[in-house]
Structure 1
Amino acid sequence: MEEISNLVVFLLEWLDQFDAKTLVSAAAVLAAGFAMIAGIGPGVGQGYAAGKGAEAVGKNQKNTSNITLVMLLGAAVAETSGIFSLVVALILLYANPLVGMEGVAIVIAASVLGAGLSMIAGIGPGIGQGYAAGKGAERVGQRPKYQSVIVRTMLLGQAVGQTTGIYALVVALILLFANPLIG
């Protein structure tokens, strides 16, 4: 336990050599990188959707346009958590309201890092929504006459699946613009 206390003291003394703006700017750069980790989810999800779409077209060439439409629609929805993460990363880099703010630098820097790290939650919705899109494309290939019901169900499931990504976005925006821990 003493080693941890000594490490914390060392880190705080080391960080104290930097002015607050430099510390917060450095945290923003790291946070933007962390935020973009969420792009893994949409990448996996969209790849799955595309694969299932291609598989469905291979089995039912007559329904290619409908299968492709469902796959693209579902894949576009799966990208939303990646878009949320990109928006937060761009705010962190170009419009960060915490850079230059007065207060305890370590709390401000931690808030910036927390905003970026919170966006990692977007991995789940991206994968889940892509899975739904892939299954939707697959089923439209098998049962084309049920396309409207399949798409409606897919989109409803994707909307519910997006809630975690929305929660992450809300937390990131609170940390950046309405942080209760910063005066």
Structure 2
Amino acid sequence: MTESDTPPLSHVRADGSAHMVDVSHKAETSRTATAQAVLRTRPDVLEMIASGDLPKGDAFAVARVAGIMAAKRTPDLIPLCHPLPLAKATIDFFPDAAAGTVRIEATVSTRGVTGVEMEALTAASVAALALYDMTKAVDKHAVISETKVLAKFGGKSGDWTLKGPA
């Protein structure tokens, strides 16, 4: 694709200034997106997280609520993001002792005129940040990585799933 083939950016006007895209003409449809983030830590810390034995308490419970709250506050955090009436937000955790990781998966749904990818990404990111906060007292070297959209369903552009391993 050449520069002349590149479509114009939807959030930038001809004069270069940012604006919120007008979605008032779009049809309301069911939309769902799933995103992930990964926390990498030591095996002993992973065991503390899984068993709820961290000094700060149950990290999964705190991170789950933080992620759900973040999904609901996405338009307050991401400029030009449309406020959406969320129907569902779930946060699931997939500890992997062999890899020393916890994969956080956020799924967000709505019935609206624009997608919920940003809400899912925000939920996964903030849940990972909350896990990091809960574990930093015992592992200052924990790392958050691999934040990405795994799948989206609904809307004009149709369904999309990340190919290959999540």
What TM bracket, shorter-length normalisation?
0.3 to 0.5
The TM-score with structure 1 as length reference comes to 0.32
* Higher normalized helix content (fraction of residues): 1
